[in-house]
Amino acid sequence: MTQTMRWFGPNDPVRLRDIRQAGATGVVTALHEVPNGAVWPQDAIAARKAEIQAAGLDWTVVESLPVNEALKTRSGDWDMLIDRYRQSLRNLAACGIRVVTYNFMPLLDWTRTDLAWELPDGARALRFDPVAVAAYDLFILRRPGAYDAYDLATQAAAEAGYAAMDDDARATLERTIIAGLPGSEEGFTSPQFLRAIEAYADVDAATLRDNHVAFLQAVCPLADELGVQLVVHPDDPPFPIFGLPRVVSTEADVADLFARVPNASNGLCLCTGSFGVRADNDLPGMVDRLGSRIGFLHLRSVQREADGAFHEAEHLGGDARMAAVMTAVHRLSVREGRSIPMRPDHGHQMLDDLNRTTNPGYSLLGRMRGLAELRGLERGIAHATGVMA
């Protein structure tokens, strides 16, 4: 694997030299300063790449080139936005960047309800609690029809949880869910979020799938010509929330997308954390079966909890079966003779980072620990099999 870390640009509290010292050879990043739906200028891409290379690292994977909401709903200035997306791909290819990550989640990118959940050892992790989501949906957002989405037990638990919160706790929950987490391109207030949800009133799961296919059919022929692979990041969490459909949550979802858009450029960012929230996703088997379609790896693990909640576990812990995943990745790398870009994802906030301002999930030391563990696991598997990838 090619070892990378995510970097959020010049304003990231984690510096490029920190990433290099952690042992990575590259970063994955984006032009976060460019508004969603605008063209990424070639000179800005080249300047960012030069900055990264000057630090002794490389940039070959974009994370992410955002898909405007009008493309997801297939409305408004769809043709113009498609043309802009194509031009951004041309500009990235001209700078030697050949893997472009995107997602097709409506409105919200990855979603959590607690950004500093304390673990028994004192480190902090990201956590998702469906009862907290229901509390926000029912009593803060007050989304019309929200009660239909929750059973009576969840409604009761959400009401009790909401009643136990003071104003600060309620504001923190609201901000955590909708203000925009690292990597998200947009944030909302609750009234803005309600209005944005209304734009999806006629978009069910089948329609969203069709819109996803239409987007890929419009951009993949050019990506094929450019030698660029578009890799879709799975839904996080991998199920509908706030009445919004999500359609990249299971292996069957991905297989259907590949069948409908068979272009070589139509690929997958295999996130073992996002897919791993669902016990019905066989992560090592997905590596084996999806094979060459996998252009980028997010290696992390979540611990599923009994009530449907989950939290970010240690990279080699939790429910991901990381040793089996890594064995499958090594097998794929040897079979295809390629080094797949990877990054450790959503590390714990720990040690000195507990006293520093960090992006939630993207502090340095927790990810450095994860990278070291994953590097050691990969090397151990290679030595055990006697075949170096």
Catalytic-role residue among 212, 233, 311, 348:
233
Active site residue 348: no
Annotated active-site residue 269? The verdict is no
Q: Are strands 310-312 and 302-304 parallel, antiparallel or unpaired?
A: antiparallel
Identity of the residue numbered 91: N
> Choosing from 298, 315, 330, 348, which is the catalytic residue?
298
- Concerning whether 212 is annotated as a catalytic residue, the answer is no
- The answer to whether 244 touches 270, Cβ cutoff 8 Å, is no
Q: State how far the Cα of 135 lies from the Cα of 128, in Å rounded to an integer.
A: 13
7 φ/ψ angles, rounded to the nearest 5 degrees: -135, 130
Q: How far apart are CA 168 and CA 172, in angstroms?
A: 6
The alpha-helical segments, DSSP class H, found in the chain are 16-21, 42-54, 69-73, 78-94, 130-135, 152-164, 167-178, 190-198, 205-226, 251-260, 272-276, 283-290, 322-336, 364-385
Active site residue 271: yes
- The active-site residue, picked from 212, 330, 346, 348, is 346
Is 136 catalytic? The answer is no
220 counts as catalytic: no
Task: Please identify which of the residues 150, 236, 271, 353 carries the catalytic annotation.
Answer: 271
CB-CB contact of 40 with 88 (8 Å) = yes
Residues marked active site are found at 233, 271, 298, 345-346, 362
